[in-house]
Amino acid sequence: MKLSKSEEELMNILWKQEKAFMKDLLDTYPEPKPANTTIATMLKRMTDKGFVGYNLLGNSRQYFALVEKSAYFSKHVNGLIKNFFNDSSAQFASFFTKETNLSQKELKELKKIIDDQIKEQ
């Protein structure tokens, strides 16, 4: 299952806050803020998709993420590699290192991460 761009934005807020009431979520948006009903609809859809859960506290719902940010991100990166780079991590790495204008320092840091991962395996 995938989230829309606006749902991902709301999910990022939940990941940062860990637990939040509707008011907390609305407060994080800049002006003009979305309508309460818009946020409520997105939360309902995200709950139905299994991304968000909530606890009832009186008449209020305290929302929280059911999916970790790293798991969501990992799934999308793997999908990107599969769909755009013929399921080749090497093609993805080649594109990433050539097209993102990484500095020499960043490339060395990336190499160290890869070298460390190789040692762990």
DSSP state of 67: S
Please check whether residues 36 and 61 belong to one and the same domain: yes
Same domain, 83 and 49: no
Tell me if 79 sits within 8 A of 41, measured CB to CB: no
Amino acid sitting at position 12: N
Residue 114 confidence (pLDDT) above 90: no
**Nearest CA-CA partner of 8 in 55, 95, 75, 86:** 75
- Expressed as residue numbers, the domain containing 94 is 70-120
pLDDT reported for residue 82: 87
- Return the structure tokens found at 60: 């209020």
* Cβ–Cβ < 8 Å for 6, 13: no
Contact 53, 66 (CB under 8 A): yes
27 and 76 housed in the same domain: no
- For 68-110, the pLDDT digits (tens) are 999 988 888 888 888 888 888 888 888 888 888 888 898 888 8
23 — pLDDT class (breaks 50, 70, 90): very high
Residue 16 scores a pLDDT above 80: yes
- Please give the pLDDT value at position 20: 96
Residue (of 3, 93, 101) closest to 45 by Cα position: 3
- In this structure, what CATH number is given to the domain that contains residue 54? 1.10.10.10
- Mean pLDDT, rounded, for 15-28: 95
Average pLDDT, integer, range 53-73: 94
The whole-number pLDDT of residue 54 equals 97
